[in-house]
Amino acid sequence: MHQNRASNVTIQAHQARVNITWRGHNGDLPDPVTREASLHEILQWVTEAVQHGDVPGIPADMQADFRDFVVDRFAATAARPYHLIQVRPKTPFGVGT
């Protein structure tokens, strides 16, 4: 069990913090989700939350659309003692050429 100091929410071992980046803004879903949540579930929850302004740090955006976004899952580590699910835009470029 881990207390997320940023949001003052307790994250259980079977849960994950969901961090979202949308149009340069970043925030967490107010409540953790089960770490086994499906891709479809996560994208649906995130879309609804951002559209309705329920993500601290991300202004409400009724046009929010995460269908082309990526969901990364990171297991808990010693430095970050809770599971992390990150919803982010695609990053195809290192702009190497």
Partner 1 sequence: MTQRVVTVLGVGALGSHVVQLLRNLNIHLRCVDFDRVEMKNLASQFHAKKSVGASKVRGLQQVMQFLFDRKIEAIPHRLKPENSAALLQGSALILDCLDNFEARSLIQAHVEESSQPCLHGALAPDGQFGRVIWHEHFLADHEGTQGAATCENGAHLPFIAIVASYMAFSAQTFLEQGRKVGFQVHPGGVVPV
Main-chain dihedrals φ then ψ at residue 87, nearest 5 degrees: -105, 120
Main-chain dihedrals φ then ψ at residue 40, nearest 5 degrees: -60, -45
Residue from 8, 62, 67, 91 that binds partner 1 (CB under 8 A)?
91
Report CA 28 to chain centroid distance, whole Å: 6
**Do residues 33 and 15 make contact, with C-beta atoms less than 8 angstroms apart?**
yes
Q: How far is the CB of 54 from partner 1 (least distance, A)?
A: 18
**Do residues 42 and 87 make contact, with C-beta atoms less than 8 angstroms apart?**
yes
Residue from 80, 81, 82, 85 that binds partner 1 (CB under 8 A)?
80
Report CA 61 to chain centroid distance, whole Å: 16
Report if residue 39 touches partner 1, rule: CB under 8 A.
Answer: no
Report if residue 65 touches partner 1, rule: CB under 8 A.
Answer: no
Q: Give the closest residue to 50 by CA, choosing from 35, 73, 28.
A: 28
Report if residue 8 touches partner 1, rule: CB under 8 A.
Answer: no
Residue from 19, 32, 42, 49 that binds partner 1 (CB under 8 A)?
19
CB nearer to partner 1: pick between 28 and 47: 28
Q: What residues make contact with partner 1 under the rule CB under 8 A?
A: 19, 21, 23-26, 57, 68, 70, 72, 74, 79-80, 84, 86, 88-97
